[in-house]
Amino acid sequence: MSVSAGTAEVEAKRAGNGRAPRRPVEELDSVVIRFVGDSGDGMQLTGNEFSKAIAKAGHDFATHPDYPSEIRAPTGTLFGVSGYQIQFASRQVFTSGDAPDVLVAMNPAALKTNLADVKHGGIIIANGGAFTDNNLAKAGYKSNPLEDGSLGGYRLYRIDISDLTAHALKDAGLSKKDVGRCKNYYALGLMLSLYSRPLEREEEDIRRKFARKPEIAGANVLALRAGYAYADATEMFITAYRVRSADIRPGTYRSLTGNHAAALGFVAASELSGVPLFLGSYPITPATDILHELSALKHFNVTTFQAEDEIAGICSAIGAAYGGVLGMTTTSGPGMALKTEALGLAVMLELPLVIVNVQRGGPSTGLPTKIEQSDLLQAVYGRNGECPIPVIASSSPADCFDCAIEAFRLAVKYMTPVILLSDGGIGNAAEPWRIPDPASLPKLEVKFRTDAEGFQAYARDANLARAWVRPGTPGMEHRIGGLEKDFLTGNISHDPDNHQRMVEVRAAKVAGIAGDIPPLRVEGPEKGDLLIVGWGSTYGSIVQAREQAAAEGYSVAHVHLRHLNPFPQDLGDLLKRYRTVLVPEMNLGQLSRLLRERYLREVVPLNKVQGKPFKVSEIHDRIVELM
């Protein structure tokens, strides 16, 4: 915990029991909390609720859910541990934080797998009742770490959350199973007390959330209050902490994951263009939530089709696009591989299509629930033939909303498939999203050709885009397909010169998008010692590392690329203005390769492939080394 100014004051107002304040309150700049437990313990829910409570108090936050690929791995095992980390602060927050200040561990396995990350001297809240001989053995502990003094370097609080929850709810008349489910809220109550947050808002939320099950709502409120009161009454935390509210732009906010934000963006693209949306998709981690979200929005002009496989997912979207709607498909790495042939077809057909790849650890099945950025070269190059496709990438959960609209803007304007890269970190992590006024969003122009006079299926406009014609339009019946086609009519052509011309025009069309990308925004000096070039979910870590280094007096700038194919027109010039270019990526240097190849410029790669995001310190350390 970074303690600011050391101001100890007496807590002015207490929620819950109304008793006189006792504990001193310390002011902090930022706090990182990690909730860890069995994958069935509800850690994702607890983390989510805590982040909402924090956000409503005016903090910025960033989260990182970390969960195993098994839905409910055997209880108490090391591989079944699920975690949720949140950082909140009195300033803007870009990452979920490097090392937790507080670890809430629901069992020995959770403690064992996470202890090494906790800051020295940090707080450990352990669910004491779960530290049974059996659970200790499963986690490989020879003795109980809560009792053997091995946690001497931390502030350890042992609380039997399960039993205390059960005790608080003994008169609630709930089944044992339902009581067990309330322990999340007990843990939440503990944390709200520790961080001096009032209970009322959370109670209102619980009552709203369980409006149809008032007895469950009541029980959860009881558990929440019990946790809060316990922390308070036992004075278990010597000090309470308060993080000042962040200086956040006024507006109405909500917490959104990247997948949810993408879904909203796609609906917005449909509403802004007046063209229906069609999603053909096959369930795959970590992309499926986009399909979930859109499936529930049939009161918009949204059709979702859970296809028989990944190939049918994209092919149905191509069929829909041919029919004149906004066709799209969602997937992750292995599914992307299966869609490859159909991507080529979409390039030949020159129909608008959006393909979302929420990347995960690869190759093959890889690490389905862990994050990686290793599908960039696949997106740019991975097809047979000369097969150019524009590629964009979102840099944060909320950015997925804007990228979804941008993907369709390019797709319909240039009549091309567009690949949108996200990753499991962005897709599942949440951050506050400032809700836009729909009237402030860009209009999406879609024109269908209906004039049969002089129509040629592959005649092009100034952007080299051909016309979009809906079947059902009289007098314009025509055939398209995957065979090479005549430059103008679209009829099959095996003519050598025509093929050269078509390959070149498809490449020129995509390359031309470079002129349609807004100027790059550079953080830091316009020229100098070091430029960091990033893309995707490394955004937060890079921003913080750069700010830290800049504050230390280093000349370091940062540019984050949304458009990866083609690159923005001003990127080449920018790269020349710095002595060194550093490229942090969660792969073995894929953007580095693209930059070297395109600009003949040496760059310094910083690569991490551990299924975990960059720590700020990892990037900061490399910046300092390069100075």
**Interface residues toward another protein, by CB under 8 A:** 52, 55-56, 58, 205, 248-255, 264, 267-268, 271, 276, 278, 280, 297-300, 303, 305, 307-309, 311-312, 315-325, 327, 341-342, 344-345, 349, 435-438, 470-483, 491-492
Least distance from C-beta 143 to another protein, angstroms?
44
Q: Do 89 and 19 touch, CB atoms closer than 8 A?
A: no
CA-CA distance, 602 to 560, in Å (whole number)?
18
Please give the backbone phi and psi of residue 126, each rounded to the nearest 5 degrees, phi first. Answer: -110, 135
Residue 591, helix vs strand vs coil: helix
Q: In terms of CB distance, is 490 or 536 closer to another protein? A: 490
Q: In terms of CB distance, is 85 or 304 closer to another protein? A: 304
β-strand 24-38 against 81-89: which pairing, if any?
Answer: antiparallel
Q: In terms of CB distance, is 93 or 517 closer to another protein? A: 93
Q: In terms of CB distance, is 195 or 305 closer to another protein? A: 305
> DSSP letters of 3-42?
EEEEEEEE-----SS-PPP-SEEEEEEEEEEEEEEETTS-
Q: In terms of CB distance, is 300 or 599 closer to another protein? A: 300
Q: In terms of CB distance, is 316 or 374 closer to another protein? A: 316
CA-CA distance, 223 to 377, in Å (whole number)?
50
CA-CA distance, 571 to 588, in Å (whole number)?
22
Q: Do 532 and 619 touch, CB atoms closer than 8 A?
A: yes
Please give the backbone phi and psi of residue 170, each rounded to the nearest 5 degrees, phi first. Answer: -60, -25
Q: C-alpha 578: how far from its chain's center?
A: 30
Least distance from C-beta 413 to another protein, angstroms?
20
Q: Do 420 and 376 touch, CB atoms closer than 8 A?
A: no
Largest CA distance in the chain: 89
Least distance from C-beta 533 to another protein, angstroms?
32
Least distance from C-beta 521 to another protein, angstroms?
24
Which helix (H) or strand (E) element contains residue 230?
Answer: helix 214-233
| Token representation of residue 563 | 């458009």
Least distance from C-beta 128 to another protein, angstroms?
32
Q: In terms of CB distance, is 203 or 271 closer to another protein? A: 271
Q: C-alpha 328: how far from its chain's center?
A: 19
Least distance from C-beta 129 to another protein, angstroms?
31
Q: In terms of CB distance, is 441 or 511 closer to another protein? A: 441
Least distance from C-beta 534 to another protein, angstroms?
28
Q: In terms of CB distance, is 55 or 371 closer to another protein? A: 55
CA-CA distance, 185 to 207, in Å (whole number)?
13
Q: C-alpha 327: how far from its chain's center?
A: 23
Least distance from C-beta 478 to another protein, angstroms?
7
Least distance from C-beta 319 to another protein, angstroms?
3
Half-sphere exposure of 276 (CA within 13 A, CB side): 18
